[in-house]
Amino acid sequence: MCFNLNRIRPASALLRSIKALSRSQYNLQYQLRFKYEYLEPKRTTKSGGDSAMDGEPKLPWSPFKPCFTFTDAQKELCLKDVNIADIVREKTERKEFFYGIETKPLDGDETACLDFHMFLPQMPEFISVVWTKRFSDAIEEATMARIPNIQMMPCLTPYIPAMIHMTVYKLTQQHLNDFLDLNLNNVLMIRGDHVEEGQEYNYAYEAVKYLRCVRSDMAIAVAGYPEGYTNLQVGPRDKELDMEYMKLKMDSGADFIVTQLCYSGDTIVEFLQDARNAGITAPIMLGILIPESFARYERMAGFSKVFLTPEQLAEVEPIKDDDDAVMNYFIQLSVRNIQQTLAANLGVYGVHFYTLNRFRPILDIIAELRKLGILSC
């Protein structure tokens, strides 16, 4: 049982000072855990007597091999796992446009590579790393520290603030305790598309509440759904109920919101207005995802249940067989949605790009935002 004594948070400055004094110890503990728990996994024996280390290990036992190229400026930072909620809050308070990127640790079974030079001169403020159903299956057999997106953290955090995603699928309190033991500072907690009957956590707010109870200083982000909970809806959407769930996540201890996929600028602005009317004052970032072809759009629509409006679909129909034209359509649509969101003056100044490790369209959007003077060099 966790007595919720930390919900009244210490003053930010004092808390950061205390953390700074003990950070070196935490980093040492984390690096040792990193080395001995998954860079040097224990030799276990199968029932047949063969070593589990025989042959090429597979997820979750494979150590993550970093494939990042950092800029010279990043190499000089020597960051200490910066609290991303502080970044988002400070940028929002200054009404300063900023962006983050989401990446995947793996492309198929191969480690994904990322060269940060491509984002110059305006770097992302932070990076987040997705969680997949495969990782949820893996945590039943391995410690949390061996999951690839968590293995990425010590490779990233000295150079750029980093945040892992986590879903509640198959998640237990023990898993959360294992995660907390790693002393990471940032997490995006979402329900995800998969939930099994009888599992310990069924909603993101339940995990948020426990994390906040144990760690008053952790940065916790949650998802916002402009289209509603499309994978859970049965019958007409109840917008008031959707917003009650959104507010419940914030009341449970979340620091900021990242919106999920939505192609309609009007729907995005309406969601933001509803959130503010519901008393949600926390920072909100606009999530952007770019399908690179009509086929990719259809696949995304199939699992997300988020669709173009009929008017937008009519615009795409004549070009749907031209991948470059379709991608450019979504790039321009996203730029317009960003402009509309900023013009609504609802306190949203950050964009989070869901890259799927496909960076060309994201770089094109960033270039457009520079031309428009939204993103300064």
pLDDT, tens digit (0-9, with 9 covering 90-100), for 309-362: 999 999 999 999 999 999 999 999 999 999 999 999 999 999 999 999 999 999
Q: Is the pLDDT assigned to residue 366 strictly greater than 60?
A: yes
Q: What whole-number percentage of the chain has pLDDT above 90? A: 62
Q: What is the pLDDT of residue 136?
A: 63
Identify whether 4 is part of a domain.
no
Q: Which residue has the tokens 């004594």?
A: 5
Q: What is the pLDDT of residue 120?
A: 96
Long-range contacts of 304-309 (CB under 8 A, 24+ apart): 304/230, 304/231, 304/260, 304/261, 305/227, 305/230, 305/231, 305/233, 306/227, 306/230, 306/260, 306/261, 306/262, 306/263, 307/263, 308/263, 309/263, 309/264
Q: Is the pLDDT assigned to residue 371 strictly greater than 60?
A: yes
Average pLDDT in the 271-289 region?
Answer: 97
Return the minimum-mean-pLDDT range out of 22-31, 89-98, 252-261.
22-31
Identify whether 227 is part of a domain.
yes
Q: Which residue has the tokens 């496909």?
A: 358
Identify whether 163 is part of a domain.
yes
Q: Is the pLDDT assigned to residue 240 strictly greater than 60?
A: yes
pLDDT in tens, 250-261: 999 999 999 999
Q: Is the pLDDT assigned to residue 98 strictly greater than 70?
A: yes
Average pLDDT in the 8-14 region?
Answer: 43
Q: What is the pLDDT of residue 376?
A: 84
Identify whether 238 is part of a domain.
yes
Identify whether 198 is part of a domain.
yes
Q: Is the pLDDT assigned to residue 262 strictly greater than 50?
A: yes
The model's confidence at residue 169, banded by pLDDT at 50, 70 and 90, is confident
| Measured distance CA(290)–CA(367) in Å, rounded | 15
Q: What is the pLDDT of residue 135?
A: 64
Identify whether 123 is part of a domain.
yes
Q: Is the pLDDT assigned to residue 1 strictly greater than 60?
A: no
342's tokens: 């900023």
| Measured distance CA(326)–CA(300) in Å, rounded | 14
The total number of structural domains in the chain stands at 1
Q: Is the pLDDT assigned to residue 210 strictly greater than 90?
A: yes
Domain that holds residue 134: 58-371
The model's confidence at residue 18, banded by pLDDT at 50, 70 and 90, is very low
Q: Is the pLDDT assigned to residue 76 strictly greater than 80?
A: yes
Q: What is the pLDDT of residue 231?
A: 65
The model's confidence at residue 63, banded by pLDDT at 50, 70 and 90, is low
CATH code (residue 248): 3.20.20.220
Average pLDDT in the 139-152 region?
Answer: 75
Identify whether 128 is part of a domain.
yes
Identify whether 348 is part of a domain.
yes
The model's confidence at residue 283, banded by pLDDT at 50, 70 and 90, is very high
Q: What whole-number percentage of the chain has pLDDT above 70? A: 77
Q: What is the pLDDT of residue 244?
A: 94
